[in-house]
């Protein structure tokens, strides 16, 4: 059986309220007598094996210092750039004495215990939530922040300017003389707002030149490889939705003897560590993933304790950057002559 503050108070010969204040650190030790009493009570508590009821303490203070990371698919957390986002989020929360609580939204109903059971003061999420979960968060006035997603304008969010990133990538290839540039999204990519935004950036750059669009959205790598290797008017440049597509294409071109960048220039998205060590190193659109976690922590902590009707949905943007490496180069002479 756990030791209570009443038992400690009886042994120390003081009131239970005095013990409670001292054990939670809410006491001034300016005077020697007060300091001696506090030290004696702490010693008695330790000797008796007292362990504080952190859950009860959190409820009494109205804070748990937990921030829920809600997710329906753990692949959103443990893949690509999101691992860096989560690491940054954890570090930013720790600076404010908060911690991250993983809250899976699945058939087990674990999220209900976390959200409805008062284990968190707010939440962050990588994708839109089921209506039931979102309603529960709102009912309990728990602030919520979207990370890398802008699907719900009523919720504060941290986004990457994917349209600008794809535009810069496509302009880079156009500036190198490429006229036939393909945009590729693999068929396994999960639905996300960034697909449409990156496609819009590609289209804006292509349409400004009057060139023809070559879009392979939600296609297999086999179909795209066939276009690149056997197509009648083969593209000389490709903008990939992510490093996944870029890796598949670079490997396939090596197998078919297509030289990169002499025959085909390749650009990816997301500057993962491995991309700079590909052969050749991958030109990519990168962004500071750590900023997403940092900004997300700032937004959710800002709204804790603020009445729900006094909160304002805020959007914070992270700017992308084109990182030019060895996988892009001038369009092949044959291609420039054919379209010149």
pLDDT at position 258 is: 96
Most confident of 2-11, 175-184, 331-340: 175-184
Q: Characterize 293-309 residue by residue with b for buried, 16 or more Cβ atoms within 10 angstroms of its Cβ, and e for exposed.
A: bbbbbbbbbbbbeeeee
**Residue 266 placed within a domain:** yes
* pLDDT mean over 149-163: 93
* pLDDT mean over 172-180: 97
Residue range(s) defining the domain that contains residue 14:
5-52
Q: Are residues 274 and 146 in the same domain?
A: no
Say which CATH number the domain at 38 has. Answer: 1.10.260
Least confident of 20-34, 58-72, 127-141: 20-34
**Residue 283 placed within a domain:** yes
Q: Are residues 282 and 296 in the same domain?
A: no
**Residue 114 placed within a domain:** yes
pLDDT at position 69 is: 96
Q: Are residues 196 and 309 in the same domain?
A: no
pLDDT at position 340 is: 47
Q: Are residues 14 and 40 in the same domain?
A: yes
Whole-prediction pTM value?
0.79
pLDDT at position 30 is: 46
* pLDDT mean over 12-36: 73
For the cut 90, the answer to whether the pLDDT of residue 322 exceeds it is yes
Q: Are residues 126 and 269 in the same domain?
A: no
Q: Are residues 69 and 28 in the same domain?
A: no
Number of domains in the chain: 3
- Encode pLDDT of 42-75 as tens digits: 899 888 888 765 545 555 555 689 999 999 988 8
* pLDDT mean over 193-215: 96
Say which CATH number the domain at 257 has. Answer: 3.40.50.2300
pLDDT at position 224 is: 96
pLDDT at position 115 is: 85
**Residue 142 placed within a domain:** yes
* pLDDT mean over 274-303: 96
pLDDT > 70 in the chain, percent? 91
Q: Are residues 115 and 22 in the same domain?
A: no
Q: Are residues 257 and 283 in the same domain?
A: yes
Helices 5-12 and 16-23 sit at what angle, rounded to 10 degrees? Answer: 110
Measured CA distances, 337 to 107, 157, 182, 331, 334 (Å): 60, 47, 19, 10, 5
**Residue 57 placed within a domain:** no
* pLDDT mean over 80-109: 93
Residues in Cβ contact with 1 at an 8 Å cutoff, skipping those fewer than 6 apart: none
């Amino acid at each position: 059986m756990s030791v209570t503050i009443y038992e400690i108070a009886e042994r120390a010969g003081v009131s239970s309220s005095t013990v409670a204040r001292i054990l939670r650190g809410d006491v001034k030790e300016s005077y020697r007598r007060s300091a001696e009493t506090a030290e004696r009570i702490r010693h008695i508590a330790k000797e008796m094996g007292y362990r504080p009821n952190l859950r009860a303490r959190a409820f009494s203070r109205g804070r748990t210092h937990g921030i829920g990371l809600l997710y329906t698919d753990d692949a959103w957390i443990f893949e690509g750039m999101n691992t860096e986002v989560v690491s940054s989020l954890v570090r930013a929360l720790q600076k404010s004495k908060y911690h991250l609580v993983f809250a899976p939204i699945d058939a087990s109903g674990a999220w209900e215990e976390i959200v409805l059971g008062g284990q968190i003061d707010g939440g962050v999420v990588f994708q839109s939530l089921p209506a039931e979960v979102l309603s529960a968060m709102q009912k309990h006035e728990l602030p919520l922040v979207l990370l890398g997603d802008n699907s719900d304008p009523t919720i504060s969010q941290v986004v990457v300017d994917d349209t600008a990133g794809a535009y810069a990538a496509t302009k880079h290839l156009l500036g190198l003389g490429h006229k036939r540039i393909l945009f590729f999204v693999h068929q396994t990519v999960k639905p996300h707002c960034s697909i449409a935004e990156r496609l819009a950036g590609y289209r804006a750059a292509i349409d400004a030149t009057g060139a023809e669009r070559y879009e392979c959205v939600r296609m297999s790598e086999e179909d795209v490889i066939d276009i690149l290797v056997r197509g009648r008017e083969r593209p000389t440049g490709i903008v990939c939705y992510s490093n996944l597509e870029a890796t598949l294409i670079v490997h396939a071109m090596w197998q078919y003897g297509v030289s990169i960048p002499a025959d085909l220039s390749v650009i990816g998205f997301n500057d993962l560590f491995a991309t700079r060590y590909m052969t050749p190193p991958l030109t990519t659109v990168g962004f500071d993933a750590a900023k997403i976690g940092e900004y997300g922590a700032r937004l959710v902590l800002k709204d804790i304790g603020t009445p729900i009707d006094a909160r304002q949905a805020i959007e914070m943007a992270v700017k992308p950057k084109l990182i030019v490496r060895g996988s892009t180069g001038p369009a092949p002479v044959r291609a420039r002559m054919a379209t010149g």
